[in-house]
């Protein structure tokens, strides 16, 4: 006797072509996008793979065994995983979830104090001022169409998100 597969229930929502979804319970927009830098920059991807192969071959030659080359290639590809593999970003009324190939980072909007970006990529920070001791910053890649993602982040940072749990006297800075 086999069990029937469970169905996942989802709240009904309407979606627009920009990737925003509005659920029926809140007025806050949900924005989702995927960034895959290797697909967007194929020349850089080929150059990166050639460099990984060359360094792996050099490591195998110096180490005297093919296994060292394989280990070097795996370590290099893992360290460059955000470039070679897609990352998915989800914004909703509560916060942001960044799903990278080897990790997931989450933050609530009331925890974030600063948004820096250059039009192609950005970072959400938990401190209002730069610090070398900052932990928990969320690096972002906006993909081929950065404007909708940047606008959605700025909209969420500017919108009040219910009762504040952080110090309301600390402003959120948006730098471009």
- Per-domain residue ranges for the chain? 18-36+86-162+169-175, 40-82
Q: Is 22 exposed, middle or buried (0-12, 13-18, 19+ CB in 10 A)?
A: middle
4-8, 94-98, 100-104, 146-150, range with the lowest pLDDT: 4-8
* pLDDT score recorded for residue 90: 96
* pLDDT score recorded for residue 53: 97
| Residue 165: pLDDT over 90 | no
CA distance to 88, 132, 141, 142, per residue, from 99 (Å): 5, 24, 11, 13
pLDDT in tens, 19-51: 444 444 444 578 999 999 999 999 999 999 999
For residues 91 and 123, what is the distance between their CA atoms, to the nearest angstrom?
Answer: 14
| Sign of the dihedral defined by the CA atoms of residues 142, 146, 149, 150, in that order | positive
Q: Whole-number mean pLDDT of the chain?
A: 82
* pLDDT score recorded for residue 4: 53
Please, what's the largest Cα pairwise distance for the chain? 62
Q: What kind of architecture, by CATH, is found in domain 18-36+86-162+169-175?
A: Roll (2.30)
* pLDDT score recorded for residue 130: 81
């Amino acid at each position: 006797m086999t069990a029937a597969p469970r169905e996942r229930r989802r709240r009904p929502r309407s979606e627009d072509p920009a990737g925003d979804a509005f659920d029926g319970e809140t007025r806050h927009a949900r924005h989702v996008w995927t960034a895959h830098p290797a697909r967007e920059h194929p020349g850089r991807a080929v150059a990166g793979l050639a460099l990984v192969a060359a360094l792996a071959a050099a490591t195998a030659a110096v180490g005297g065994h093919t296994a060292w080359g394989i280990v070097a290639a795996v370590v290099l590809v893992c360290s460059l995983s955000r470039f070679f593999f897609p990352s998915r970003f989800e914004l909703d009324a509560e916060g942001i979830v960044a799903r990278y190939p080897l990790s997931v980072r989450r933050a609530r909007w009331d925890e974030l104090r600063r948004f820096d970006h250059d039009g192609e990529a950005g970072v959400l920070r938990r401190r209002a001022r730069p610090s070398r001791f900052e932990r928990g910053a969320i690096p972002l890649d906006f993909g081929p169409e950065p404007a909708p993602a940047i606008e959605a982040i700025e909209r969420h940072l500017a919108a009040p998100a219910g009762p504040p749990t952080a110090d309301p006297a600390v402003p959120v800075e948006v730098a471009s």
